[in-house]
Amino acid sequence: MYLPEIDFLNYNDLPGILRLNAGASYAWPEEVIRQDLGQDSNNETTYIGAFATTAEAPLLGYAVLGREKRAGILMWLLVDSRHQRQGIGTQLLLAVSDCALYLNMRILRLRVRKSNKGAIALYSGLSFRRERVRQGYYSNGDDAIVMSANLPLRPGQ
């Protein structure tokens, strides 16, 4: 397990976010990130990052929390492929859970590719349950599984 420094992200973290995105098969779109973190942001989304505790403190992963009435939406989650399976995704999700509770959200919902077994395993281990399947949801025709969890997230359930 690796204990990163967890913190909110802002526009200054854009290079680190884009560096992570460049190494990923799917990435949260750059124009959306620029809009969300820019001066004209409507502040509807919260970006939370995990930083290495070395002197350069590179960004190792990030999560994006959106909202829909009283439900939180996990818009995106990404961990550097060289640092996966070290508990960073879990710690980011627990930070998202704390943040969503603070914002008076009671439920966290997400969509994940049906083929993304690793992410589904991560979410299932943090008390997310399958709600339904959205067929052909992604642009390449992949199905999405909608999952939700009551907050706070509970590891090991």
Ligand X SMILES: CC(C)(COP(=O)(O)OP(=O)(O)OC[C@H]1O[C@@H](n2cnc3c(N)ncnc32)[C@H](O)[C@@H]1OP(=O)(O)O)[C@@H](O)C(=O)NCCC(=O)NCCS
Residue 85 sits in the site that holds ligand X (CB under 6 A) = yes
Residue type, 5: E
Location of structure tokens 């509770």: 101
Q: How far is the CB of 46 from ligand X (least distance, A)?
A: 17
Residue 112 sits in the site that holds ligand X (CB under 6 A) = yes
Site for ligand X in 12-31 (CB under 6 A): 24
Neighbours of 112 (CB within 10 A): 21
Residue type, 127: S
| Piece of 6-14, 35-43, 64-72, 86-94 that binds ligand X (CB under 6 A) | 86-94
3-class DSSP state of 132: strand
For 97-126, the three-class secondary structure string (H helix, E strand, C coil) is: HHHHHHCCCCEEEEEEECCCHHHHHHHHCC
Residue 84 sits in the site that holds ligand X (CB under 6 A) = yes
| Piece of 7-15, 110-118, 127-135, 145-153 that binds ligand X (CB under 6 A) | 110-118
92 class by beta-carbon count within 10 Å (0-12 exposed, 13-18 middle, 19+ buried): buried
Residue 96 sits in the site that holds ligand X (CB under 6 A) = no
Residue 119 sits in the site that holds ligand X (CB under 6 A) = yes
| Piece of 6-14, 28-36, 84-92, 127-135 that binds ligand X (CB under 6 A) | 84-92
Token representation of residue 102: 């603070």
Contact set with ligand X (CB under 6 A):
24, 77-79, 84-90, 112, 116-119, 121-122, 125
